[in-house]
Amino acid sequence: MALVVQKYGGSSVADAACIKRVAQRIVATKKAGNDVVVIVSAMGDTTDELLELAQQVSPLPPGRELDMLLTSGERISMALLAMAIANLGQEARSFTGSQAGVITDSTHGKARIIDVTPGRIRGALDDGQIAIVAGFQGVSQDTKDITTLGRGGSDTTAVALAAALGADVCEIYTDVDGIFTADPRIVRTARQIPRISYEETLEMAACGARILHLRCVEYARRFNLPIHVRSSFSTREGTWVVSDPNIEGTEMEQPIISGVAHDRSEAKITVVGVPDKVGEAAAIFKTLADAEINIDMIVQNVSAAATGRTDISFTLPTNDSQTALTALKKMQSEVGFEKLLYDDQIGKVSLIGAGMRSHPGVTAKFFGALADAGVNIEMISTSEIRISVVVGQNDVDAAVTSAHRAFDLDSDQVEAVVYGGTGR
């Protein structure tokens, strides 16, 4: 008998019919002799709708109340799913994040899990019940307030609970058959990846591939917990995220490049005419850090000898742009820079693959593919297993398609079926 943790995304529980279908799948897993813990997201677009509703009553809702509101989405789906399972003759019990023992820090909107104490979940399993847990939420250790883990955070709830319970596998159900070499909505011939390492998946998640929440992959890697990403709309085998994707004893060699990810959610700010002196960059980024803004790529120009000034550009989530611009304007006279430029019509395209560590020429080929597609590169950043470029937003599709082709990632048939359409 195994302990299976399953997480169902919003598209898998979008309406009553979907919930009944998922209930059958869960009951089948239970009847096969497994203990089952299920984590659910809110139905369909519920979280977006709740956010929209909040905006209508207040332009800047207090974080505590926003979390209170958003967590109600998952309470709806967990209770409905438990009812649907009961209707199939199995005992199920639903739990909020707090009841399930998901303890977090007190940062509303992006809380971090600091402990998981799933006593009640264990108890339910011991009583032969199926436990259903609301994803994306927890309770703060100090304030005792309800918190959320950030958009897409149900994945992290699932992996954290799976690790705490010592589950054999964590299955993440979505609306596509796993992780693909590129977004199948852009590249029709994207290929399904059967097995991939945590480190590559981390880079993909960080680079905008919206398939898994970043912290969920970090968590899984820390606990060496295998994740199986698959569709709830089919019974096909999905993608296994594991520490070593090479199957021992086989000659199956991993490709040099695993995939091409893209992200349209970032913007670029350029601080023009920064005096080329020690400490100026530190002051600028300290200001941004104090405003809790996560910076992604940074480029500093060589200073023009004549002026003794330089430009610093960086990218950040578009959602944080207003906060960043306001914070920087406040320090303009102190630092003495000339002006700020803002561009939200950018996109990031990233090539990811553990094989690039040991294979030269990957960068040249990538940039060649972009040139062939007539795409201009605005910024570049790299890690050991990733090369990212910032390009104009309208060039993203062409850049992804061209890079995907250049690295022979195209499949000769259309493999990707997008069942739900929202990617949740």
| Shortest Å, Cβ 175 to ligand ASP | 12
Burial of 279 (0-12, 13-18, 19+ CB in 10 A): exposed
Is residue 361 a known part of a binding site? no
| Shortest Å, Cβ 176 to ligand ASP | 15
Answer for which of 47, 147, 192, 270 binds ligand ASP (CB under 6 A) is 47
Helix (H) or strand (E) holding 339: strand 339-343
Is residue 21 a known part of a binding site? no
The one of ligand ASP, Mg ion, none whose footprint includes residue 245, by CB under 5 to 8 A per kind, is none
Distances (CA, A) of 234 to 25, 175, 416, 417: 11, 9, 12, 10
Closest to 68 measured CA to CA, from 144, 131, 124:
144
| Shortest Å, Cβ 232 to Mg ion | 12
| Shortest Å, Cβ 345 to Mg ion | 26
**Does 197 interact with ligand ASP (rule: CB under 6 A)?**
no
Q: In sequence order, which ranges of 110-265 are alpha helices (DSSP H)?
A: 119-126, 154-165, 198-206, 214-223
Closest to 5 measured CA to CA, from 221, 178, 155:
155
Answer for which of 8, 23, 73, 238 binds ligand ASP (CB under 6 A) is 73
Q: Which token pair is 329?
A: 């304007």
| Shortest Å, Cβ 110 to ligand ASP | 11
From 132-140, 152-160, 222-230, 254-262, give the range in contact with Mg ion by CB under 5 A: 152-160
Considering beta carbons, is residue 108 or 191 the nearer one to ligand ASP? 108
HEC states along 179-191?
CECCCCCCCCCCC
**Does 154 interact with ligand ASP (rule: CB under 6 A)?**
yes
**Does 259 interact with Mg ion (rule: CB under 5 A)?**
no
By CB under 6 A, what part of segment 5-44 binds ligand ASP? Answer: 9-10, 41-42
Considering beta carbons, is residue 132 or 346 the nearer one to Mg ion? 132
**Does 152 interact with ligand ASP (rule: CB under 6 A)?**
yes
How far is it, in rounded angstroms, from Cα 60 to Cα 141? 25
Neighbours of 272 (CB within 10 A): 15
Is residue 8 a known part of a binding site? yes
Considering beta carbons, is residue 78 or 369 the nearer one to ligand ASP? 78
Answer for which of 118, 135, 347, 353 binds ligand ASP (CB under 6 A) is 135
Is residue 235 a known part of a binding site? no
Closest to 343 measured CA to CA, from 242, 270, 418:
270
Give one DSSP letter per residue of 86-110, joined into a string: HHTT--EEEE-TTTTTEEE-S-TTS
Q: State the virtual CA torsion across 159, 162, 165, 168 in degrees, nearest 10.
A: -140
| Shortest Å, Cβ 151 to ligand ASP | 4
| Shortest Å, Cβ 51 to Mg ion | 16
How far is it, in rounded angstroms, from Cα 365 to Cα 371? 10
Distances (CA, A) of 281 to 278, 305, 342: 8, 18, 18
Helix (H) or strand (E) holding 259: strand 259-263
Is residue 91 a known part of a binding site? no
**Does 151 interact with ligand ASP (rule: CB under 6 A)?**
yes
Answer for which of 135, 152, 238, 245 binds Mg ion (CB under 5 A) is 152
Considering beta carbons, is residue 158 or 356 the nearer one to ligand ASP? 158
Is residue 237 a known part of a binding site? no
Q: Which residue ranges make up the site for ligand ASP (CB under 6 A)? A: 9-10, 41-42, 47, 73, 135-136, 151-154, 424
Q: Which residue ranges make up the site for Mg ion (CB under 5 A)? A: 152
Annotated binding site for ATP: 7-10, 174-175, 185
Annotated binding site for substrate: 47, 74
